[in-house]
Chains A and B, each alone.
Chain A
Amino acid sequence: GAGVSQTPSNKVTEKGKYVELRCDPISGHTALYWYRQSLGQGPEFLIYFQGTGAADDSGLPNDRFFAVRPEGSVSTLKIQRTERGDSAVYLCASSVSSHGELFFGEGSRLTVL
């Protein structure tokens, strides 16, 4: 596809479970970002990758959250021991360079029961 693709679009899980959210960026985009949007709020920065490495992970709320981008393309956001407060839309964005325009995916809606 031409845009940023995120899967699953919806995920319902139980408290304490492990969750993985996937992001497939636009081909050729070296920069990839994860944001989280809670109800009634704007997107909140989580982590930024330049290539394979996490250039800035200062937005990850705690050590239950982890993200990887092993080959510099697809990224996976991993959440361990999910809590109800983790319920949100997780947005992925990519850009052609670290200073380029961000293109967002449609998001993965996570609901923790």
Chain B
Amino acid sequence: DQQVKQNSPSLSVQEGRISILNCDYTNSMFDYFLWYKKYPAEGPTFLISISSIKDKNEDGRFTVFLNKSAKHLSLHIVPSQPGDSAVYFCAAIISSNTGKLIFGQGTTLQVKP
């Protein structure tokens, strides 16, 4: 049972345009959500997070939106840069389950120059 789903395996965007990566979840107990970025042969690195009590969190070019009623979150990257090309993982956690992140399958983003 996949509790966190990223239904788009890949996304291609032109440099300078917006990238939108989507994530859906099923467990209403999740209270914290994170996005990780992964380059080949490297471990995932933390990008941005959002608490379930908020609906938006912004950090520079990266913004995460949370729609609790739809159990949906999205990551917006504006403007997209070629260096953003990587695999992006959505993850969710129940805060009392320390460190037990539940990851989606990942979306490979390609930003074309």
Contacts and interface: CB of A to CB of B under 8 A. Distances in A.
A55 B101 CA distance: 14
A interface, size bucket: 20 to 34
The range of chain B's interface size is 20 to 34
A95 B99 contact: yes
Interface string A44-66: 11001010000110110000000
Interface stretch (B11-19, B41-49, B60-68, B77-85): B41-49
A85 interface: no
A98 B99 contact: yes
Given A43-B44, A91-B43, A93-B43, A102 B99 contact: yes
A106 B100 contact: no
A56 B104 CA distance: 21
A91 B41 CA distance: 11
A110 B70 CA distance: 38
B44 A48 contact: no
B43 A42 contact: no
Contacts of B104: 42
Interface of A: 4, 31, 33, 35, 40-45, 48, 50, 55-56, 58-59, 91, 93, 95, 98-99, 101-107
Interface of B: 4, 6, 9, 41-46, 89, 91, 95, 97-106
